[in-house]
């Protein structure tokens, strides 16, 4: 188990470090630059003019689809046990099968863990993959499965953090669903749980949704700590009104137009346009409304329930409706290796399988089935791909680190599930060996998963990005291919 402790941002700050947001300029708001600093200094991962410029380039290159495709990633930080969730071994002895019973699903002959009854009842809406090859994946930072790249393992590769997340790649190469919304939003408990933009640059780092959302918060072991008080990211400081911001912007634009007389390629006009978009995003209503879950009906709140993870799932649905491309929810209480890191009940705070994993599963079961049902009822499930996974599976033998009721890390085989995206579901892909120790048939690589997600989002699979040495890196590794079983 990884040592507990805090972790710094992999990029040494946030996307607005270069704005020097703590200097007086951001408080006095004496320029367009100051306007942005005053209103954006809490955003962390959100980009502004550069993001809009990059998105416009993507759109002009034909990389923006007419339909608003999106992805919601339910990230199970710590590595959920495949044997105790989606790949049970009921015929094996307790030492292998673990403490849980199984339950028949809607699919004949398919069983999953007894603590996932809601998912079992609607498994025709899901695809379970029992043969995911998670070799070289580790947690804290959790990179390989979120990037689709085996080298994205900072524990063994000093440059591991530089490989961009699938979400960042989509933000760059697809273009926006809505220019007034961030393309990539993350709700993370630990800074090392969510992959960032790496070689792509901070313009494609995730927007930190926790900073602007009034959602329940918890301590490291899951005790409710009240409602998060969002930062005033979308609020202007002091007596600064929207009119004053636009007046200052207009004045600055006038000065820019004087300089643009000698501008031959239109870059000055473009710069003015992208900065105006940034201001509109900050003080406009769409982004504010999208993050405001108080606008949801009491019936919808009751349907999702009060748990913080479920509230974030409701917010994720709300965000993709408003035009966000990719939302990642970090399903963890702990900031270190993650709540699903169930080594044993004698190893707090994660616990073992019975007392650690057991209480998590009913919440997850309610979350994922409510989310999928809600997306379907609103007619956007076919455009929204829901992915639930962690970084690896757990060891096939119970007992680790002096405990009899936990499982160790197992970067050999893992299970995951998919829903939505307009794919063919109601099936199980692949299989592990009878004890769950190895892949038996149909290996699914991180490259295959990446290709499937990019296919859904309309990003060409042959796309490359450039590293810091100017070398092209394919966005799809290991000759990965979309899963033909579901497409």
Say how far apart CA 218 and CA 29 lie, in whole Å. 36
Tokens of 287: 């982004």
- Burial class of residue 414, CB neighbours in 10 A (0-12, 13-18, 19+): buried
**pLDDT (average), residues 237-244:** 50
Structural domains of the chain in order of their starting residue, each with its CATH number: 68-230+293-474 (3.40.720.10)
Q: What pLDDT, on the 0 to 100 scale, is given for residue 18?
A: 35
Over residues 55-72, the mean pLDDT reads 66
In the predicted structure, residue 274 carries a pLDDT above the cut 80: no
- Reported pTM: 0.82
Give the whole-angstrom CA distance, residue 214 versus residue 101. Answer: 37
DSSP string, 14-46: -TTGGG-TTSTHHHHT-SHHHHHHHHHTT-SS-
Please give the share of the chain, as a percent, with pLDDT higher than 90.
69
Cα–Cα distance for residue pair 425/372, rounded to 1 Å: 12
Radius of gyration of the chain (CA): 23
Q: Determine which helix (DSSP H) or strand (DSSP E) holds 207, and give its type and residue range.
A: strand 207-208
Task: Decide which of 33 and 123 is more confident.
Answer: 123
Tokens representing residue 230 in the block: 């969002």
Half-sphere exposure of 93 (CA within 13 A, CB side): 3
The pLDDT assigned to 12 comes to 37
pLDDT, tens digit (0-9, with 9 covering 90-100), for 193-235 = 999 999 999 889 999 999 899 999 999 999 999 999 887 666 6
pLDDT tens digits, one per residue of 165-178:
999 999 999 977 99
Residues 83-130: tens digit of each pLDDT: 999 999 999 999 999 999 999 999 999 999 999 999 999 999 999 999
Structure token pair of residue 210? 């926790």
Query: Which pLDDT band holds residue 406 (cuts at 50, 70, 90)?
Result: very high
């Amino acid at each position: 188990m990884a040592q507990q402790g805090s972790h710094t941002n992999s990029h040494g700050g946030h996307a607005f470090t270069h704005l020097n947001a703590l200097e007086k300029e951001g408080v006095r708001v004496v320029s367009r630059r100051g306007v942005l600093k005053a209103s954006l200094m809490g955003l962390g991962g959100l980009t502004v003019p550069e993001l809009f410029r990059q998105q416009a380039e993507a759109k002009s290159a034909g990389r923006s689809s007419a339909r608003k495709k999106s992805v919601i990633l339910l990230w199970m930080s710590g590595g959920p046990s495949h044997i105790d969730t989606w790949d049970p071994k009921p015929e094996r002895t307790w030492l292998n099968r673990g403490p849980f019973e199984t339950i028949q699903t809607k699919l004949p002959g398919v069983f999953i863990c007894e603590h996932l009854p809601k998912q079992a009842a609607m498994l025709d809406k899901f695809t379970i993959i029992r043969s995911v090859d998670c070799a070289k994946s580790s947690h804290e930072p959790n990179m390989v499965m979120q990037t689709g790249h085996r080298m994205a393992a900072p524990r063994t590769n000093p440059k591991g953090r530089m490989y961009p997340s699938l979400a960042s790649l989509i933000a760059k190469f697809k273009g926006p669903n809505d220019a007034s919304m961030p393309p990539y939003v993350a709700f993370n408990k630990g800074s090392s749980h969510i992959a960032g933009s790496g070689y792509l640059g901070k313009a494609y780092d995730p927007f930190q949704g926790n900073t602007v959302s009034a959602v329940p918060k918890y301590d490291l072991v899951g005790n409710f700590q009240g409602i998060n008080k969002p930062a005033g990211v979308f609020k202007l400081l002091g007596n600064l009104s929207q009119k004053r911001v636009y007046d200052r912007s207009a004045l600055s634009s006038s000065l820019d137009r004087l300089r643009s007389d000698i501008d031959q390629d239109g870059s000055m006009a473009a710069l003015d346009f992208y900065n105006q978009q940034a201001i509109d995003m900050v003080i406009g209503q769409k982004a504010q409304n999208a993050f405001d879950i108080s606008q949801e009906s009491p019936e919808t709140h009751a349907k999702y329930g009060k748990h913080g993870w479920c509230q974030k799932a409701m917010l994720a649905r709300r965000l993709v409706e408003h035009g966000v491309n990719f939302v990642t929810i970090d399903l963890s209480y702990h900031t270190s290796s993650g709540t699903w890191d169930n080594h044993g009940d004698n190893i707090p705070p994660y616990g073992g399988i019975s007392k650690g994993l057991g209480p998590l599963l009913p919440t997850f079961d309610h979350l994922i089935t409510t989310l999928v049902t809600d997306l379907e009822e609103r007619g956007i499930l076919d455009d929204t791909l829901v992915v639930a996974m962690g970084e690896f599976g757990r060891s096939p033998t119970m007992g680790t680190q002096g405990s009899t009721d936990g499982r160790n890390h197992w970067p050999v085989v893992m299970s995951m599930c998919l829903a939505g995206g307009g794919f063919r579901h109601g099936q199980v892909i692949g299989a592990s060996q009878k004890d769950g120790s190895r892949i038996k048939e149909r290996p699914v690589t991180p490259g295959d998963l990446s290709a499937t997600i990019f296919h859904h989002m309309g990003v060409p699979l042959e796309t490359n990005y450039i590293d810091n040495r100017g070398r092209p890196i394919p966005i799809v590794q290991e000759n990965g291919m979309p899963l033909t079983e579901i497409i």
